[in-house]
Amino acid sequence: MRFTLNGAPVEVDVHPMKRLLDLLREECALTGTKEGCGEGECGACTVLIDGAAVCSCLVPAAQAEGAAVLTIEGLGDAHPLQRCFMDEVGAQCGICTPGMIMAACVLAPDASLDEIRLGLAGNLCRCTGYSAIYRAVQSARRQ
């Protein structure tokens, strides 16, 4: 199958029902995308497909055929969300962080706190209590 991964064309030979999460981590060696629950409940595996946030543990590889997939690695090392998560201590163990950041990527630039809470409602964090995450996202919105 062929698709675009973080802006570059890729071709991989995988079973069409292989989870996109596993394709990314195993075939593409992009381990920034994390597995939490593996059941679509936690959002740790969130990536963007054609600009929409999806749980990659629920998406078969075939669904990415011809699509543009963006993972946390595709944001580079100095994205405002990454800097703000560090500045606001929005990450502790870090398992939820890539998924949080990818979900935050698709929020409106002028998203209110309530809209940020709603937009990240599918992303669970067992460490931070969420306030620092919301602060980080709000701070990134202002940059």
Which of the ranges 62-70, 79-87, 103-111, 126-134 carries the binding residues for ligand FES, by CB under 6 A? 126-134
Count CB neighbours of 13 within 10 A.
6
Residues in the interface with ligand FES (CB under 6 A) total 23
| Residue labelled with tokens 């060696």 | 29
Q: Which residues pair with 11 in a beta bridge?
A: 2
Q: Tell which positions 57-116 bind ligand FES, by CB under 6 A.
A: 57, 91-97
Closest to ligand FES by CB, 2 or 63: 63
Q: How far is the CB of 107 from ligand FES (least distance, A)?
A: 18
Tokens of 47: 């990536």
Which of the ranges 7-15, 22-30, 41-49, 80-88 carries the binding residues for ligand FES, by CB under 6 A? 41-49
Q: Are 98 and 81 in contact (CB under 8 A)?
A: no
**Percent helix, percent strand, percent coil in the chain, to nearest 5:** 35, 15, 50
Q: What residues make contact with ligand FES under the rule CB under 6 A?
A: 35-38, 40-45, 55, 57, 91-97, 125-128
